[in-house]
Structure 1
């Protein structure tokens, strides 16, 4: 089992990509890659559970080949790396924390998008911080994730 988290500030000069979906009514998220905090937290949780480090060690700013990469690409690569080390995903839980975009109207679509990439059930929840902190002020958003993996016998 592993836990991951990710945080990005809003950047109105970039398109918003979150949970492997485009959100045209919301400002984008700044980052080394596309800023998809949900996908990044999911990757972090899977990598941690498998003992493969964390998101930064695998795809961070010191790795120029991942600059601008989509969250979907990072998820696919994480799942590939898990497979190489004989780990498989049982399920993933992702919580998005922020005032926008509103997740509920597209929750099923986001779960389907992430599930198709991961190859295991991904469940998404969302919450606000009731106006508190950087997410409450609308400066950005955060995501946390928990991954359950199993090891495939040799």
Structure 2
């Protein structure tokens, strides 16, 4: 059987809501982080969004915008990162594409990620069906993430094509 492995990379960035409305932040398939939530048409889960772009890119199946649309009236409006990642996993399965592993780097000053790293990795791994590792870093005060205006993520993945 002739198979091929491909690598994909994804990126996403969003600002925090300007006024904390008391709704929790959604990040890395955990839906109850403290602090202001992340702006977005969906739940703003930048870790999931970056990973989805990486998976779709590696698979040759487009990107998050082509799958879920853009804007408040799009298919993905109001969806959680968990449900979006589940749909992507189902699409990969339909095309006989298997994710092998994924790595995500979250960039921002908040929330403090390390206390919930294991929980986030486990949730994302369970949904995707492969190991997902997550790291977090800051930009030492530089740029919008360093000044606390928003948060970003970079993701890489390896997939096995049929």
8 A Cα contact 1:23 1:101, kept in partner: no
Aligned counterparts of 1:150 and 1:29: Cα–Cα separation in 2: 32
Q: Deviations over 1:90-136 (max 9, x none)?
A: 00100000000011111111100111111100000000000000001
What secondary structure sits across from 2:127 in the alignment?
Answer: helix
Aligned pairs, how many?
152
Which position in structure 2 is the counterpart of 1:4?
10
Which position in structure 2 is the counterpart of 1:100?
110
Q: Does 1:124 align with 2:130?
A: no
- Pair member with larger Rg: 2
8 A Cα contact 2:24 2:34, kept in partner: no
How is 1:2-151 mapped onto 2 (pairs within 5 angstroms)?
2-11=8-17, 12-13=20-21, 14-61=23-70, 64-151=74-161
Alpha-carbon offset, residue 140 of structure 1: 0.5
Tell me which protein shows more strand as a share of its residues.
1
Aligned counterparts of 1:54 and 1:97: Cα–Cα separation in 2: 21
8 A Cα contact 2:13 2:46, kept in partner: yes
Please report the RMSD computed on the Cα atoms of aligned residues, expressed in angstroms. 1.2
Alpha-carbon offset, residue 56 of structure 1: 1.2
Aligned counterparts of 1:10 and 1:93: Cα–Cα separation in 2: 23
> 5+ unaligned residues in a row in structure 1: which ranges?
none
Q: Deviations over 1:73-101 (max 9, x none)?
A: 11001111111111110001000000000
Aligned counterparts of 1:65 and 1:51: Cα–Cα separation in 2: 20
Give the TM-score, by structure 2 length.
0.90
